[in-house]
Amino acid sequence: VPLNALQPMLDPGVQPRWLPGWVAVSAAYAAVRRYASASAPLLASPGHGAVFWATKALGEWLALDLDGQVGWAQASALSLAEPAGEGAVTHATLHQGTLQLWQGTTPLAALRVNAPTALAPGEQRILRRLPGGPLAGRLGVPWQVITDQGLTLHGAYWHHQWGGSLAEPRVELSVIGAQMVFGLLSPGQRLIMG
């Protein structure tokens, strides 16, 4: 090929302004592949509501952080992940499979949850929040709220059964409920068990 027949190529490094950023699976599931191709080997298939850190785009594909490994998913199966609600909550209570959010003495919401069987009565403080990440052997566990005593409240995209018990120090909520709790509870707020 003669040199004067070559055309300059577009810069593939142009990225959307919101990247890097958090994305949620908005389809029934997202096929996360080893590289940006529909024929690439499948790495994971997280369900609706899973949340991942997206690092870059390549055409219609987004690179996702899978706990240190990169996977690629089609952007059409994902949307920007944004918490619902704003910190109007003064504290939360967890009792007999129900998480209640309070503003002073007024209950704002009550959510059925799966909670640890051996949860001692007392008070914990919200330490930090993480929109998504690995937890309990799963990728993209959404809307994690972690207390100062190691209890993690999070969304569960892999089932829809509430009111049960767990052996681990975790509280499972519906993805929509966890998204709301994430937006309403801030670091320093109280979680009262009883």
CATH number at residue 20: 2.30.30.40
Name the residue among 66, 75, 21 with its Cα closest to residue 44: 66
CATH number at 153 reads 2.40.440.10
Q: What is the pTM of this model?
A: 0.87
Domain count, the chain: 2
Residues 110 and 75 in one domain: no
Residues 75 and 102 in one domain: no
Query: Is position 3 within any domain?
Result: no
Name the residue among 65, 25, 21, 28 with its Cα closest to residue 49: 25
Q: Which residues contact 36 (CB under 8 A, 6 or more apart)?
A: 58, 59, 61, 63, 72
Q: What is the pLDDT of residues 157-185, one digit of tens each?
A: 999 999 999 999 999 999 999 999 999 99
- Mean pLDDT computed over 119-148: 95
Residues 127 and 45 in one domain: no
Name the residue among 149, 147, 155 with its Cα closest to residue 179: 155
Query: Is position 145 within any domain?
Result: yes
Q: What is the pLDDT of residues 32-89, one digit of tens each?
A: 999 999 999 999 999 999 999 999 999 999 999 999 999 999 999 999 998 887 667 8
Position 16 confidence tier, pLDDT thresholds 50, 70, 90: confident
Give CA separation, 114 vs 26, 34, 95, in Å: 23, 33, 11
Residues 50 and 116 in one domain: no
Kindly tell me if the per-residue pLDDT of 99 is higher than 70: yes
Determine the Cα–Cα distance for residues 182 and 187; give it in Å rounded to an integer: 10
Pairing of strands 42-44, 51-58: unpaired
